[in-house]
Amino acid sequence: MIPGGREARPDHFSGEIVRGPAIAVLLVLAASAAAHEAPQVSDQFAPEIASSVRPRPLVRAKRWMAATANRNASEAAAAMLRAGGGAVDATIAAQFVLGLVEPQSSGLGGGGFLVLYDAAAKAVTTFDGRETAPMAATPDLFQDKKGEPLAFMEAALGGRAVGTPAAPRLMETVHRRFGKLPWPQLFEPAIQLAEKGFIVSPRLAAQIAADAPRLARDPTAAAYFLPGGIALKAGDRLKNPAYAETLKALRDGGASAFYRGPIAEDVVAAVRGARNPGQLSLEDLANYAVVERSPVCGGFRAYLICGMGPPSSGGIAVAQILGLLESSNIAGLGKDSPQAWRLIGDASRLAFADREAYVADPAFVPQPTAGLLAQDYLAGRAALLSGERALGSVAAGQPKQDRTQLFAPDPAIELPGTSHLSIVDADGNAVAFTTTIEASFGSKLMTRGFMLNSEMTDFSFRSQRGGAPVANRVEPGKRPRSSMAPTIVLKDGAPVFIVGSPGGSQIIGYVVKTLIAALDWGLDPAAAAALPNMLNRYGPFELEEGTAAETMAEPLRELGYGTRATALVSGVQAIAIGPEGILGGADPRREGVAVGE
């Protein structure tokens, strides 16, 4: 639900992106056209989906809002906003705190994607802070001597999986462009918490217990998380003086203090000296650069949905799914309708088929992004949804592209060691930032008070299939494909909804669910985040166990789907903006908190 906004109507429009260092988003409202309604079928199996996941309280504000995955991080963001800082300042301060209090999900040893709305320029731009493969990496990195893929944990634990960390350079890059407060001020909350100690949260304690045998492999991680061989418990006070010293070095020397000198040397030593050594070098660190990219935007009702383009598949997939549903009557069918979820599920399957065939680092693989989002292409794919039952099989489409090359599809594993924050400041600037170290605690390697990522496992372990190359194969200097989907929704050229989630390749479904819940079903951000998760990536429906989503199993099976009840631990942070104010909601499945004034 957008506060003060009119109810979403099935108006159609096209969006044009003006590309450049600051990318303006122009909304061109097309003539009103009646939307096609999905076939009207009996919803005899439609149960009332009253979530057993209790929504967090909705937070209301007038000037600014910050929603992050941890109260300490939200308070750090709020401190910057109260001090006159902007959304970028608040983002940076929150990220430094998240790396301390939520080390299983993000930090200095990882990276992320940041989508930003610049109110002064009325422009959306995005920053690619994705980790890169070491220059010594080869396509057979995750293969055995016979050319077969390694077992996942054989690849993920230790230095082999570590890509060049990106977070420090990303934070510095966006601060130089959009920061208002002095760089050193942004470090104060995290340094204070690291030196004085913070209370271990239940989620962190549970993650430490679950990963204890793997954390024990690295002496530094073991000493920190398993002191005396005993896993930290919820309620323990934990100090991290090594992290405080690293932050002080960054505060005083900028990102260069991380990418050159003693910190860089320790990072490389940790990677190369691990049990499963990696190939990261000092040159890889010294040469890392953030890339500013044009947003990927697609129309839905009266809105423009803008997100991150390749190497993330998130922006394309979210825009495709909503584009495929544009002519459907999802709003009329409602959140309790199996037919609504059939449409959402099969639209997602079509988007995932395209994702696995085409999306990769655009510096290495020509990306048919415009073709994948072209109205005629989406109309053709949407026609596949016109039946009343699940699609039997799903394959990638054939979008128009500048250069044609046949790539083999490959669904690389993507684990949910990720976090998200959404922030709006008093000047109308907005940030959606998804930050990650890939798996829980990344590679399980720790140095200088922070964890090192395992992002290399987001590449396909196979380099080819049937003689055709895999688009997302490992290559030197390449950025692995991601599903992170930080999203800013515009209406009449201004942001009205900011959202994102952790969750690996399930991120796309979490974000789509929240957007449809807010834009079509009229739910506020807290209720939209709490709505039971029902995802479909590859055919079977994943239904969130322990919630009313499980009651949809029989109706979905009647429509031709396999179903599986499983834990679907989204971490949505959502903000809605309207004439009457700002609404903030945090996903109750994790420890997120929205703060606003």
User: In sequence order, what are the residues at sequence separation of 6 or more whose Cβ sits closer than 8 angstroms to the Cβ of residue 182?
Assistant: none
3-state secondary structure of 594: strand
CB 74 within 8 A of CB 68: yes
Cα(379)–Cα(334) distance, integer angstroms: 22
Q: Report angle CA 524, 492, 375 to the nearest 5 degrees.
A: 95
Cα(141)–Cα(31) distance, integer angstroms: 52
Identity of the residue numbered 324: L
Which two structure tokens, joined as six digits, stand for 539?
């055919």
Is 483 annotated in a binding site? The answer is: yes
Cα(5)–Cα(159) distance, integer angstroms: 50
Task: List the catalytic residue out of 164, 418, 434, 487.
Answer: 418
**Based on the number of CB atoms within 10 Å of its own CB, is 384 exposed (0-12), middle (13-18) or buried (19 or more)?**
middle
CB 414 within 8 A of CB 480: no
CB 573 within 8 A of CB 422: yes
Cα(171)–Cα(284) distance, integer angstroms: 18
For 156, phi and psi rounded to 5 degrees?
Answer: -80, -30
Cα(557)–Cα(537) distance, integer angstroms: 16
3-state secondary structure of 170: helix
Which is nearest to 207 in space by CA: 359, 104, 136?
A: 104
Q: Which 8-state DSSP code applies to residue 408?
A: B
Which two structure tokens, joined as six digits, stand for 219?
């002496």
3-state secondary structure of 347: helix
Q: Is 418 a catalytic residue?
A: yes
Which is nearest to 583 in space by CA: 569, 565, 596, 593?
A: 596
Cα(400)–Cα(371) distance, integer angstroms: 5
Which is nearest to 325 in space by CA: 365, 414, 403, 385?
A: 385
User: In sequence order, what are the residues at sequence separation of 6 or more whose Cβ sits closer than 8 angstroms to the Cβ of residue 349?
Assistant: 391, 394, 536, 537, 538, 539
Chain centroid, CA 77 distance in Å: 19
Give the end-to-end CA distance of the chain in Å, rounded to a whole number.
Answer: 20
Number of DSSP helices (H) and strands (E) in the chain, helices first: 19, 25
b/e string for 45-58 if b means 16 or more Cβ within 10 A?
Answer: bbeebebebebbeb
Cα(535)–Cα(539) distance, integer angstroms: 10
Cα(327)–Cα(300) distance, integer angstroms: 9
Cα(511)–Cα(50) distance, integer angstroms: 19
Is 130 annotated in a binding site? The answer is: yes
Cα(93)–Cα(478) distance, integer angstroms: 29
Binding positions for L-glutamate: 130, 458, 482-483, 504
Return the active site residues: 418
